[in-house]
Amino acid sequence: MEMLAAADALRRVSLELGFSACGVADAAAAQGDTLRDWLASGAHAGMGWMESHLEARLNPELLLPGVKRVVMLSYEYSREDARREQGRIARYAQGQDYHRLLAPKLADLDELLQVFGGVQRGFADSGPVSERFFAQQAGLGWLGRHGLLVRPKLGSYCVLACLLTTLELPLDAPMPNRCGSCHSCEQSCPTAALADGLCDARRCLSYWTIEAKEAMPADVQAVAGDRLFGCDICQEACPWNGAVAPTLDARMLMPDTLASMPLAEFSSMSEADFERYFAGSALRRAGLDRLRERARQIEE
């Protein structure tokens, strides 16, 4: 009964904190060889950190000894492209950096579960946890052919956070895949980066505009359009994203200064301006040099 009470309290408080869904998965759920095979193929490109933390991703016990459950949480971001100037920015990065935004919310949930005797460790896409796998196991949605979590009412426009816990909370049922015969996301990708529910980062526009340290290949640049930071093409093509948009945390929305900033301002931006505009933004992930370089490519 105590674990039922803990689960009920967890769901209630998570909604009060602004999370759109909360589900519980078995920390010992078998992940199979998909991730290991994907890394072995080199599809993670230059993201070596994914390979170096592989064992922890496959075994949450290495992150929290005694872990029993993975609590998965979703947080919504805008479905609209707010930029009014050239230079598109991925929707998840339009507002404040969600890593910082969600960290104190996870701390609140940690304190709640401590009351029930649990030991927790929380991550907001900030540690080696297979969050999308556990989100599907926790019944939040299913993994679409673009590899992202898709929800039947809310689509895929969300970020994920998790709490590993030693509590044996009641498990939620995994959600079956409902993509059916639809291949819209795969067919929409201009670089053919998507296949069989996996994304090959060596072809992905998000990788080349955010993570890559090397120069963007000419054939990728030729189809990148005016994407300055990230890419939402596969999400834009997904029919599940036609659902009614939820009420959003205003901090996840793009400020007017960024929405109206001319592309030329990115290409000539100083270090001081970069710090002033993007101190709490996910755009810092790319860094000033990458943003300036990409803006200049678009201008050409």
* Three-class DSSP labels, 132-165: HHHHHHCCCCEECCCCCEEECCCECCEEEEEEEE
125 catalytic per annotation: yes
Burial 267-292 (b: 16+ CB within 10 A, else e): bebeeeebeebbeebbbbebebebbb
Phi-psi group of 269: left, alpha or beta (phi > 0 → left; psi -120 to 50 → alpha; rest → beta): beta
CB 118 within 8 A of CB 106: no
**149, 142 Cβ separation under 8 angstroms:** yes
Backbone angles phi, psi at 123, to 5 degrees: -140, 140
Over its C-alpha atoms, the chain yields an Rg (Å, rounded) of: 19
Q: Which listed residue (110, 125, 226, 249) is catalytic? A: 125
Residue type, 104: P
Summary count for the chain: helices (H), strands (E) = 14, 10
Question: Residue 121 in 3-state DSSP?
Answer: strand
Q: Kindly write down the DSSP assignment for every residue of 24-66, as one continuous string.
A: EEETT---TTHHHHHHHTTTTTT-HHHHHTHHHHH-GGGTSTT
Residues with catalytic function: 125
